[in-house]
Amino acid sequence: MVGFVQSLAVAKRISIWTAIIMIFFLFAGAHYLNEVIVKQKDDATSGTTEHQLLSPLANDAELLVQVDGPDGENTLRQLASQRGWTVQRAFTPKDASTTDLDDYFTLDVEDVADAETILGNTAGVEYFEPNEQIQVAPIVSGMDERDPSTNNLLGIDDPFTDQQWSMRVLNMHEYYAELATSTPRKVAKIAILDTGVDARHEDLGDNYFSVDRRYDNDPMGHGTHCAGIAAGTTNNGIGIGSLAGSGNQPFVRITSIKVLNAAGMGTQKSIIAGIIEATDEGVDVISLSLGGASNGSRQKAYSKAVEYARKHGAIVIAAAGNSNMDAYNYAPANATGIITVAALDEYLQRASFSNKVNRLKRGIAAPGVAIYSTTPNGTYKSYSGTSMACPFVAGLLGVMKSIDPELQADRAYDLLHATGKDVIDGVATGRVVQPADAIRALKQAL
């Protein structure tokens, strides 16, 4: 249309001023139509029913049911016997006095809608929600950016830092210098809840400890990649650098708790059980590079698990999700009390796939495109995703907990936000973490 108007002006069928006015209105109209289309898309998403937004349900335990103590449990078991349902206790937290997660049961039913109707009218049943399936799949990146000067700036001898563009945008040379003048008061524990971790990887072994040998392998590679970002062994002349820092005084150690199978699939129940297990193992930071479509008003069990972790001093971080949508509709990113991480590219713009975190209370951002890290059997690869952004924050928080063991989740987020850097898409992503500034602010407050 603009070209047509220009042609009319060139042919002197209309005046130049008329053409300018017409072009102005054309652009204004196009902008208005674009806003209408975007709003219709957002409305379509927000107006979608819960069952349309939910991920598929677990095949063998479609529902999570909370009962009102022993009497409610007896009622549920009797009902299950009558209806041919299978009921099993979902969670067994060690410190059951601080939570009611031990009152949750899984229910395997034939007809979910029918079961929900019955449960809704059953005395002793306090609450129920879908036991959703979760699946992760790393986005393999074709980007291969090298910056040989990075090695000289960082003051560490890991040979593959020239493939870690995140080192530059996170000012990691300042971070390592800051850690050199910092004293850990404890060795903080970081748990990667994922597909497992290759405990024998050349660049992880020195920082790894095992809570269960079944978790010390990784058929998929997703968990191992996340572990390297958070706490790969740094300044050891091998592989990559990480947030774990370098030097003779260790700040963090990392472990694995499998909540996803070899295909990257799990359930809400398996993930919550993993959060409980990590908490009961006494970890300081729990990293969840996983999630799926859900609904912000129906994540009571996730929120209770995060609350259990927080009561025992752990900080829980989750990936925002990779669907270019609103993380408010993704779990566990939308759980109460969790820190949710969006992904940025090398230009500190929101990654094209990253969900937005502006409707969440604790949104933050970190690099998440073409992140070079550890993969099983001594290999290294570049993956993209909010899954990669999440362990950057987990590793940083682990070091912060090492310096200040009393650091709690709310104050930790406030420090990340206050010291974070504003970015172009900051409304949607939150500020990007600045590790050196966060450590400085933490030390000044001690």
Angstrom distance (rounded) from CA 157 to CA 362: 35
> Is 222 among the catalytic positions?
yes
Angstrom distance (rounded) from CA 242 to CA 396: 9
For helices 16-46 and 2-10, the axis angle rounded to 10 degrees is: 180
Angstrom distance (rounded) from CA 133 to CA 435: 34
SS3 assignment, position 255: strand
With CA atoms as reference, report the closest residue to 338 among 421, 419, 394, 402.
Answer: 394
**H or E element at residue 237:** none
Q: Yes or no: say if 441 and 416 are a contact pair by the CB < 8 Å rule.
A: no
> Is 387 among the catalytic positions?
yes
Q: Supply the DSSP string of 378-407, one letter for each residue.
A: TEEEEEESHHHHHHHHHHHHHHHHHH-TT-
Residue 425 CB coordination number (10 Å): 17
Give the position of tokens 């069990």.
301
Angstrom distance (rounded) from CA 202 to CA 240: 11
Angstrom distance (rounded) from CA 339 to CA 288: 10
Residue 138, token pair as written in the block = 């790393």
Residue 57 CB coordination number (10 Å): 18
**H or E element at residue 375:** strand 371-375
Q: Yes or no: say if 369 and 143 are a contact pair by the CB < 8 Å rule.
A: yes
Residue 95, token pair as written in the block = 């410190």
- Candidates 222, 284, 294, 326; catalytic one: 222
SS3 assignment, position 384: strand
Give the E-state strand segments of 261-355 in sequence order: 265-267, 285-288, 292-293, 315-319, 330-331, 339-344
Q: Yes or no: say if 201 and 218 are a contact pair by the CB < 8 Å rule.
A: no
Q: Beta strand pairing status for 315-319 and 285-288?
A: parallel
- Candidates 166, 289, 387, 402; catalytic one: 387
Residue 240, token pair as written in the block = 């990559």
> Is 194 among the catalytic positions?
yes
- Candidates 108, 158, 194, 326; catalytic one: 194
Give the residue numbers marked as catalytic.
194, 222, 387
